[in-house]
Structure 1
Amino acid sequence: METDLIFSSRRSPVVCLHGCAASSQSLATSIGLDTLKRGGNAADAAVAMAAALAVTEPCSTGPGGDAFCLFYNGNTGEIRGINGSGRSARAQTLDFMEGRGYTAKAPPSPFDALNITVPGAPACWCDTVQLFGSQKLTLQEVLRGAEELAEMGFPVAEVAAHHWANWVAALKSAGKELGGDLLIDGYAPKCGQIFRNPALAQTLKELGERGKSAFYQGRVAQAIVDVVKENGGMLTSDDLGSHDSEVMSPVSTAYKGVQLWEPPPNSQGLAALLLLNILENFPLKALGHNSCDYIHALVEATRLSLTDAQRYLGDPGHETVPVESLLDKKYSQQRAQRISMNRAMEEVKPGLSTGSDTVYFCVIDSVGNACSFVNSTYMGFGSGLVPKDCGFSLHNRGASFNLLRDHPNCIAGGKRPYHTIIPALLTDSVTGAQQTRLLAALGVMGAAMQPQGHIQVLLNMLEFGMNPQQALDAPRVFVQFDQTTHQWFVNLEDGIDQEVAEELERRGHKVNWPIKGHKRSQFGRGQVITVGDWWNPSISHTRSPARVLWAGSDPRGDGCALGF
């Protein structure tokens, strides 16, 4: 049933002192916390959780996908990140695609092997531990919990089972069969059914023992090349062997005394910053949480920010407008002036459609390090292709490319696509030599929902004084551009007043309300861990409250936050 996911209870925020982890699967969160207790830091724990989620939610994530992370150094206040997205096959140029008969209006099926780019997640895992880890645990020790989970088996959780079955059905309707490593007797596992994946356990074991070479060379790499070639794709051993992560500096914007940090292009982190900059020009608190005026401003600002991001951004070096220009506050003021509070805008259209399934998770450790991490196979099981005896599916992130010549996100050989997955961090907004103070690790998964989710959850805390769990519980808005009808839709979650939905329709919006049950998945699944209760309206976040960690985990998922 589509309506059997009922929100009928409440959760308190998790409060703790020494370390905290939050993810969309309780077993993965537990493995992250255990990693902290064994002497690992936030980066070690995040990678342990990334691998565990690859076991428990293979319909959302895995070694066959991409990853991004942001890391806050508790000793120095420095924020760095890793871009773990892979590139297209070097031979896969626009001329090649057109030679196969594909055009901007008639691209390959999203599940086509031509949409398989180099999986960047395994390299990101290894590099996160090497660059940001405690050095007290080896990569093998970090991955051991996930390896044991895959080898011994685990009971599948409710939301994961639902999406597992849906994506298996989607692949079948597209004429594809998911590999047996990810099924039980040909079927998706049911909630509570024990699932084992010994092939993935072996892949994780080899990755722990030999690092990146275990994935990008040798047995696993050859299995990837073989299955891609058999299905008409273009990835080669050279494409895999030449892959590496990129250490990057995040981009940020200030908002009322805080600084929001996001990964730069080729990710869509800029969309979240653009959205926040535009909304800074409106009296959001006075408008009232989830009021018609508030949602109207949010919707219009979202349309503008997504359109700008998808129009101008691509793999670095291909952008048509410098990032600094888009983040200029004067530019955002100009965009805000386009918004009328009485009617919906016309002719604001982004340039691509996006997939939906991802995992977001975060960790803060006892010395104040924070790791904000996101991992994805893009559309469910991605391409649905499973390399022989490897235990994971290959993503289809190349479906994010377009075939519009001279567009910054046009397909080209050895290029990274516009990427939807984004982790975030929040600090005090300071200038000069003063060290930035960490306020939160946060994120919401779900394609174009991600920048919208980041800002809605952040504003729930900053403007409306919600604690992390309340901020995640609150009903959300998803602004969606439909590529078939070329229209914007405003999806409103159950819990938003009917009168608000009706007034939005009167202003010219196409509204879907109320969104219930498992269809709530379109609003994403998020996690938040804050340092102190700076969101509490009775205090000022510019003061330094006691170092208590507060955390929440999204009720739309199977997970939890845990601390000690």
Structure 2
Amino acid sequence: MNSTVPYSATVSAGINPLGRKGMVSTPHYLASQAGLDALRRGGTAVDAAIAASAVLSVVYPHMCGLGGDSFWLIYDAARGELKALNASGRAAASASPEFYAARGFKAVPARGYLAVNTVPGAVSGWDEAFRLSRESMGSPLSWAELLDAARGYAEDGFAVGHSLAHWLAVDTSGQGAGRGLHQFPPFVEAFCKENGRPYRVGETLRQPDLAQSLARLAQNGADEFYHGGIARAIADSMMLHSGLLTVGDLADHHADWAEPLRVPYRGLTACSAPPNSQGMAALEILNICNHMDLAALGEGGADYYQALVEATRLAFQDRDRWLTDPAHADIPLDRLLSPEYGQEQAARVSLEKSAGPLPPLSPGGDTVWLGVVDAAGNAVSMLQSIYHEFGSGMVAVGTGILLQNRGCAFSLDPTHVNRL
């Protein structure tokens, strides 16, 4: 779409449209369309983000969903305020290193019910953001309207895209660690055809249980997820498989508003959600780069990429040393994101040789980011994830909700900063 139209949507970094009344960017065209439709009906950027996020939970289930978390940055144009919203879940009350040690685990497993040791927070994020949209931004749309497109795609189906088809094939292949999702009947029932074959590109995937869950959320609000029938269904599935989450864990959950982290960067201000988000690492990378003459290195050259890699290495070392739940430890963010520290770190960057190895990243990779701006200038930047592709691989029986495995990032070492 081009600048002659009032609204624009994009699903690719290769597209750079201009919209006079609003813009939506997501990794799937159906989600972008749902967000755009919310704007056209008078909704706010927050409304559009919720509608798009809900659709992604249906059409992009390998990367996000009702069973995952989200981190928001929301700009309220009328008040001139930027807020962070942390909709990630805390650990289950019964989760502990001792729990896993007693079962012979030296690390939290990445798949299966024991990988589910944190409460899914995404729906609580939608709820808190929607309240802000109604109370501060004057949204005319209802909660149910924002979930309608997602429910429709879950019930009527949608054409499977390349990313979903790729990860379904990989994770049901049985080749490699964590690739055996074909062993879990609820997963196969939700994401494979009658003969057990995973869906392919262009085939229609319907998720009737997820459609019913979305319908119940639309009717009863977010309380349905944390205090109602969906909460009981999740807890019952966990109990049936000796899992950790309980109705009490779900009932105790709440999303949190927070002050965003900020660093100056070349005449602008870069912002991110604070810990437990990893945004501190992204900002430290920029803080280091802010004290290097990248332009002189020439974009695309070997020295340019060496500088970026070394800045990333230094920031990731600090992330691994400090990042944890700030309710349980002090994180020296003022120092880590200060201009003085950025200058110190930049001085450690060598273009001659690497300062040391980083653990290899897993091949492939994908996640969900979406962005929305409306005609009033309200804006949303949001990450939504179930951590690994398809999260834990566990689908709560009768709900169609795929549960995340974010808690496998916890350490079982009692001396580790990110200990469970």
Same fold (TM over 0.5): yes
CA contact (8 A) 1:31 1:48 kept: yes
User: 1:351 offset after TM fit, Å?
Assistant: 12
Q: 2:151 aligns with which of 134, 143, 147?
A: 147
Aligned to 1:366: 375
3-state SS, counterpart of residue 169 of structure 1: coil
User: 1:304 offset after TM fit, Å?
Assistant: 0.7
Aligned to 1:184: 193
User: 1:216 offset after TM fit, Å?
Assistant: 1.3
3-state SS, counterpart of residue 109 of structure 1: coil
Matches of 1:208 and 1:149 in 2, distance apart?
A: 14
3-state SS, counterpart of residue 302 of structure 1: helix
Alignment partner of 1:120 is 2:124 = no
Equivalent positions of 1:46-125 (< 5 A) are: 46-102=49-105, 106-116=106-116, 117-125=118-126
Matches of 2:75 and 2:328 in 1, distance apart?
A: 28
Deviation larger for 77-86 or 164-173: 164-173
Aligned to 1:330: 340
Q: 2:257 aligns with which of 211, 229, 247?
A: 247
CA contact (8 A) 1:355 1:379 kept: no
User: 1:355 offset after TM fit, Å?
Assistant: 11
CA contact (8 A) 1:113 1:231 kept: yes
CA contact (8 A) 1:381 1:395 kept: yes
Deviations 1:53-89, CA, capped at 9 Å, x for gaps: 1110111111011111110112222100210100111
Aligned to 1:130: 131
Structure with the higher fraction of residues in helix conformation: 2
Matches of 2:320 and 2:359 in 1, distance apart?
A: 6
Q: 1:11 to 1:380 in 2, by over 3 A?
A: closer
Q: 1:408 to 1:285 in 2, by over 3 A?
A: same
Aligned to 2:316: 306
Aligned to 1:380: 389
Aligned to 1:194: 204
Matches of 1:350 and 1:239 in 2, distance apart?
A: 34
Q: 1:209 aligns with which of 194, 197, 219?
A: 219
Deviation larger for 152-161 or 349-358: 349-358
Alignment partner of 1:37 is 2:52 = no
Cα-Cα RMSD:
2.3
Matches of 2:182 and 2:149 in 1, distance apart?
A: 35
CA contact (8 A) 2:173 2:182 kept: no
In structure 2, runs of 5+ residues without a counterpart are: 1-11
Equivalent positions of 1:446-461 (< 5 A) are: none
TM-score with structure 2 setting the length: 0.90
User: 1:132 offset after TM fit, Å?
Assistant: 3.0
User: 1:135 offset after TM fit, Å?
Assistant: 3.0
CA contact (8 A) 2:85 2:256 kept: yes
Deviations 1:404-432, CA, capped at 9 Å, x for gaps: 21322100xxxxxxxxxxxxxxxxxxxxx
Q: 1:172 to 1:257 in 2, by over 3 A?
A: closer
User: 1:349 offset after TM fit, Å?
Assistant: 5.6
Matches of 2:388 and 2:108 in 1, distance apart?
A: 15
Matches of 1:142 and 1:225 in 2, distance apart?
A: 26
In the alignment, residue 404 of structure 1 is paired with which amino acid?
D
Matches of 1:114 and 1:11 in 2, distance apart?
A: 40
Deviations 1:337-387, CA, capped at 9 Å, x for gaps: 2222111113x6679999954211111001100011111111111111111
TM-score with structure 1 setting the length: 0.67
Q: 2:167 aligns with which of 163, 170, 180?
A: 163
Aligned to 2:3: none
3-state SS, counterpart of residue 15 of structure 1: coil
3-state SS, counterpart of residue 402 of structure 2: coil
In the alignment, residue 22 of structure 2 is paired with which amino acid?
G
Q: 2:238 aligns with which of 228, 237, 247?
A: 228
In the alignment, residue 328 of structure 1 is paired with which amino acid?
S
Matches of 1:41 and 1:259 in 2, distance apart?
A: 24
CA contact (8 A) 1:71 1:371 kept: yes
Deviations 1:168-221, CA, capped at 9 Å, x for gaps: 335553673224123322332111111111211111111111112111123211
CA contact (8 A) 2:170 2:179 kept: no
Q: 1:11 to 1:69 in 2, by over 3 A?
A: closer
CA contact (8 A) 1:59 1:167 kept: no
CA contact (8 A) 1:296 1:341 kept: yes
Q: 1:78 to 1:319 in 2, by over 3 A?
A: same
- Identity among equivalent pairs (%): 38
CA contact (8 A) 2:56 2:65 kept: yes
Q: 2:355 aligns with which of 345, 359, 380?
A: 345
In structure 1, runs of 5+ residues without a counterpart are: 1-8, 412-564
Q: 1:352 to 1:321 in 2, by over 3 A?
A: farther
CA contact (8 A) 1:71 1:132 kept: no
CA contact (8 A) 2:182 2:188 kept: no
CA contact (8 A) 2:263 2:269 kept: yes
